[in-house]
Amino acid sequence: MDNLPAVVIADADTASLRRLAREACAAGFTIAAAASDGLEALAAVRREKPSVLVCSLLLPSLDGLALVRLARDACPGLRTMLICGFLSRDVYDECTRLGVDCVLTAPLADGALAAVLSALPRRAERRFRSLDAVISALLRELGVPVNFKGYRYLREAVRLVMQDGGYVRAVTTRLYPEVAARFGATGSQVERSIRNAVTAAHSEPTERMAELFPAKRRPTNSEFIALLAELLSFGDGERVR
């Protein structure tokens, strides 16, 4: 256990805190502290010097952004993840300024935190690439067939969600129509093509696909798009243009 990387988790909701802790353990981390208060979490970071801090934006005493800023000052090299219900432009800009590794949109899909924590070593190895190249590389790594129309639709959908998290909560009414308009298709064609591409990748999973989506159930289009956008939005060592 002593050789496992440590994580401090902060969430005001007790049930969410327990769930996050379970997923962190599933990803191979040990729980250094689980706090329901921002100041309590900061004290734990200073005391335990963990590898990763996972915290909600809304916390008593000290909000998530302030916690991230102070925690990184106290523990250089700390990897940070922020969970928020809505990623506004102001929050996005502050996360970028602070160097937050990943922002997860609540409510989290089952296994989302475990997948992102498991991906951290890979994220540090990525180099400066264009956003299209980064998304395309991950899609290929997940085994999405490049000759499927859904491959192009997925790439565009992930890009849109990275730019505006609101799309993932309005997949049918906003995201599919927007992608369709860019390719001269219909929303139903986009939905079907993405579903076929995800099904193909899930039916014969690559190692990376099995790591991110370990459940036997095929991820829904929105789950697949949302997790990819979360993985890529705040990758350490990676800049998009």
Residue at 240 is within a domain: no
Residue at 106 is within a domain: yes
CA–CA gap between residue 57 and residue 81 (Å, rounded): 10
Query: What's the whole-number mean pLDDT along residues 191-220?
Result: 93
50 and 76 belong to one structural domain: yes
78 contacts 71 by C-beta, under 8 angstroms: yes
Tokens of 211: 């790591």
Find the domain containing 192 and state its range: 131-233
Whichever domain contains 204, its CATH number is: 1.10.10.10
Query: What's the whole-number mean pLDDT along residues 166-179?
Result: 92
CA–CA gap between residue 42 and residue 67 (Å, rounded): 6
Which residue, 86, 107, 125, sits at the end of a domain? 125
CA–CA gap between residue 34 and residue 4 (Å, rounded): 16
Under the banding of pLDDT at 50, 70 and 90, the label for residue 240 is very low
List of residues 6+ apart from 205 with CB closer than 8 A: 143, 213
Identify the pLDDT of residue 77.
85
Q: What is the DSSP letter of 173?
A: I
210 and 120 belong to one structural domain: no
196 and 145 belong to one structural domain: yes
Under the banding of pLDDT at 50, 70 and 90, the label for residue 145 is very high
pLDDT tens-digit readout, 36-46: 999 999 999 99
Identify the pLDDT of residue 201.
95
- Which among 233, 80, 105 is positioned nearest to 169, based on CA atoms? 105
pLDDT tens-digit readout, 176-203: 999 999 899 999 999 999 999 999 999 9
Residue at 238 is within a domain: no
Give the chain's domain count. Answer: 2
Identify the pLDDT of residue 80.
92
**Ramachandran angles phi, psi of 12, nearest 5°:** -70, -20
148 and 177 belong to one structural domain: yes
